[in-house]
Amino acid sequence: MAVEADYYELLECERTADDGTIKSSYRRLAMRWHPDKNPGDAEAEHRFKAISEAYECLKDPQKRAAYDRFGHEAFKQGMSGGGGPGGMGGGFSDIGDIFETIFGSAFGGGGRQQARRGADLRYDLEIGLDEAFHGKAAQIEIEVAAKCEPCDGSGSEPGTGTRRCNLCGGHGQVRAQQGFFMVERTCPTCHGRGEVIEKPCRSCRGEGRVDQPQTLDVNIPPGVDTGTRIRLAGKGEAGPFGAPPGDLYIFIHIRRHGVFERDGTNLVTRVPITFTTAALGGTIDIPGLDGKSIPLDIPAGIQTGKQLRKRGEGMPVLQGRGRGDLVAEIMVETPTRLSARQKELLQQLQETETGDECPQSKGFFDRIKEAFKA
């Protein structure tokens, strides 16, 4: 099982980013994670290699176009198909499929075709942010074309076999004259196998595959994010007539959390505090995804919009060490319901104000006076 990080996420860029933005982001990250600046740090070396690989792909227009369409599978044998949430779809099993889809088999070589591996499939799995934090062992249920057991994928009724195709003479190709050219095409009777089934299997009707429900175990590692892909080798669609199966790709989607938003490995939350806490300072506790309370020190005089950072209290690094940060954005809340005593105390406070307590407010009104001076 392998997890592949998204190139755009590695470079901290949107998928619509232009070449200049991608280049600038790569330079910034390369400076940060270069092994020379992080001697002995295996995680930094891993990060540097990953962002370099991502940049090598995205800086090339053709490679980027292929990656945008097929993801990592554009550079491997087999390209995964698409599907809606919770669904699956097949794709090209190799580059020959693409060539034949575009040009047909007129330019292909002669001889019997070999059975191709089954198609890769996609499954979209939604999990909570806390599950992404801890990781989990999940089970998924899918219906997939699996090898027919009674005929062992051959498509023939048990006890029977195949015979040579009469139309192509066992070659898998037939020739036809078109003007001055002799064109060779896949045999329409045996579909390139060179053989035909004498008696089709009653279970699969000669297909060698039947749709079957399957329950699969998926190990989701800590730190996954929306777009993370988990590969289950050999769990895709069965190949025709006993050929090897394709792979199944699990695409992760993270549900919206009630408290935290995710920014890479960082967790971001907005924290409302009373105006007295903002003025006097104090300490508040924030519940973390690991079940522990995270103390947050509030400095006196803090303003709305100020961000406080707690190092190492964010999401785990996928397939790495350490955690990101917790970023708390402060929102100073003005009270809307006051008792008579509270109003009295506030009025006493107001009577003692000189204007120096709130320098931003004082500066603003000083600028107004200066602007409208006669």
Q: Is 190 annotated for ligand binding?
A: yes
Looking at residue 323, the DSSP 8-state letter turns out to be B
Length of the chain equals 374
Q: Show the 3-state SS of 230-276.
A: EEECCCCCCCHHHCCCCCEEEEEEECCCCCCEEECCEEEEEEEEEHH
Q: Is 57 annotated for ligand binding?
A: no
Q: Is 13 annotated for ligand binding?
A: no
Q: Is 151 annotated for ligand binding?
A: yes
Q: Is 161 exposed, middle or buried, given 0-12, 13-18 or 19+ CB atoms closer than 10 A?
A: exposed
DSSP-derived pairing of the beta strands 293-298 and 282-287: antiparallel
Integer Cα distance of 162 and 151 in angstroms = 12
DSSP-derived pairing of the beta strands 248-254 and 121-127: parallel
Which residues, at least 6 apart from 209, have a Cβ–Cβ distance to it below 8 Å?
A: 145, 146, 147, 148, 153, 237, 238, 240
Full DSSP string of 25-79: HHHHHHHHH-GGGSTT-HHHHHHHHHHHHHHHHHTSHHHHHHHHHHGGGGGSSS-
135 SS3 class: coil
Q: Is 187 annotated for ligand binding?
A: yes
Structure tokens at 229: 């892909």
Which residues, at least 6 apart from 135, have a Cβ–Cβ distance to it below 8 Å?
A: 219, 220, 221, 222, 223, 224
Q: Is 148 annotated for ligand binding?
A: yes
Which residues, at least 6 apart from 46, have a Cβ–Cβ distance to it below 8 Å?
A: 320
Nearest Cα neighbor of 6 from 221, 219, 229, 231 is 229
Binding residues: 148, 151, 165, 168, 187, 190, 201, 204
Binding residues for Zn(2+): 148, 151, 165, 168, 187, 190, 201, 204
